[in-house]
Amino acid sequence: MRPLSYLPLILVSFGSDTTGSIALFKRAIFVHPTAKAYFELAGALLATRHYTEGIDALSIAEKLGYTPLANVMFRYAYAYANMDNGEFSMEHTKEASRYAELAIQMGYPRPVQFTQKHLFPYLGNYHGFESMYTAALAGGAIINPEKSLWDAFRDLFPETQLPFSIDHKWIRQQRSRGGDISYHYERFIPEIRKVKWSRGGGDSYYSVALLHREPAFIAVIYRVEDDTDYDSSSPLFTLVTYDSYGKIIDRMPVAGRKDLTQNFKTFIIRPDLSFRVQEFRDVFDENPDSAGYDSTNIGKQEPLPPVDLRIAANGKIERTGPALATR
């Protein structure tokens, strides 16, 4: 079962006995049926994967006038998006998209949740979701609806105090953290296009940090890793700068690595936006071309000369030290 912290507006404070709370809600409803009681019952049912019964409870809550109605629409969308136990269903994903649209139109306060794969596994892959999401966010009142998609993407990244660094220890402690970046944000991360329609794993993208924000540009770091080869790969961390409309100004990989054929990198950025990238070359015990690129075959890592860079006032990444061997 998913951690309860992954279910915003699904459960609030039932404690550890979520299943037991279902019987309590049903007894309370028998004595005094209210819209709120049915809404909370639906939350407990969805958290325990009783999606069909949860939808029935939501339907009654809606008929009894539960407010805000946008929260009911969110739970409908969640139920339909997850009721096939992680398998893609065109019919149910279509329903999830429809209720997501209604929730956003009704003013659901955290629309970015509809783009998060741990809540809505296949919604971002559904044909038409991107245009629906953009239009729903715009609400017909914003001249540039794409700006709303950019705002939602930017809000995925938590503001981070500088200096900020990424090394082996940080990756071990923080690897599982970060919000999913849905495939429909491909205009901001172009390589997402390669895996947009994948059904069987592959690269996944996660927001890491908002490093700097000013009217001219913002600087963020996102993480990419191969979900099909978790043990032999490392997350790759990419620094990107965008202008105020979400257009990429500059980008470069600054930490980690995609696989063992690449050098491992560490990264530190300072408050003045100067930063250093340090590469480490693997020394293998046996020839990796025959023995394989495997972490157990690495005898040690040799540091290469560090490279000093900075983010300039226009958002461009500039070298201030020796050139990188590869960029």
Q: Could you read off the pLDDT of 200-215 as tens digits, one per residue?
A: 456 788 899 999 999 9
* Of residues 175 and 114, more confidently modeled: 114
What CA–CA distance (Å, rounded) separates 119 from 6? Answer: 7
Contact, 121 vs 183, CB < 8 A? no
Other beta carbons less than 10 A from residue 235's beta carbon: 22
Contact, 257 vs 236, CB < 8 A? yes
* Of residues 78 and 122, more confidently modeled: 78
Lowest mean pLDDT among 20-24, 195-199, 239-243, 250-254: 195-199
State mean pLDDT over 50-64: 93
State mean pLDDT over 158-173: 92
Q: Which pLDDT does position 170 carry in this prediction? A: 92
Mean pLDDT score across all residues of the chain: 80
Contact, 102 vs 73, CB < 8 A? yes
Would you place residue 273 in the very low, low, confident or very high pLDDT band (cuts 50, 70, 90)? very high
In eight-state DSSP terms, residue 149 is H
Q: Which pLDDT does position 252 carry in this prediction? A: 96
DSSP secondary structure string, 204-222?
EEEEEEEEEE-SS-EEEEE
Alpha carbon 299 to chain centroid distance?
35
Highest mean pLDDT: which range of 11-15, 66-70, 276-280, 290-294: 276-280
Residue 141 above 50 pLDDT?
no
Radius of gyration over every alpha carbon of the chain, rounded to an integer in angstroms: 23
Q: Which pLDDT does position 227 carry in this prediction? A: 62
Contact, 112 vs 8, CB < 8 A? no
Would you place residue 182 in the very low, low, confident or very high pLDDT band (cuts 50, 70, 90)? confident
Contact, 61 vs 72, CB < 8 A? yes
Q: Which pLDDT does position 296 carry in this prediction? A: 60
Q: Could you read off the pLDDT of 78-113 as tens digits, one per residue?
A: 999 998 765 667 888 889 998 998 888 888 888 888
Would you place residue 139 in the very low, low, confident or very high pLDDT band (cuts 50, 70, 90)? low
Q: Which pLDDT does position 242 carry in this prediction? A: 97
- Which residue ranges form the domains of the chain, and what is each CATH number? 4-145 (1.25.40), 156-319 (no CATH)
State mean pLDDT over 225-243: 78
Q: Could you read off the pLDDT of 235-251 as tens digits, one per residue?
A: 999 999 999 989 999 99
Q: Which pLDDT does position 281 carry in this prediction? A: 86
- Indicate yes or no: pTM above 0.75: no
Q: Which pLDDT does position 260 carry in this prediction? A: 76
State mean pLDDT over 130-148: 63
Contact, 123 vs 81, CB < 8 A? yes
Residue 253 above 50 pLDDT?
yes
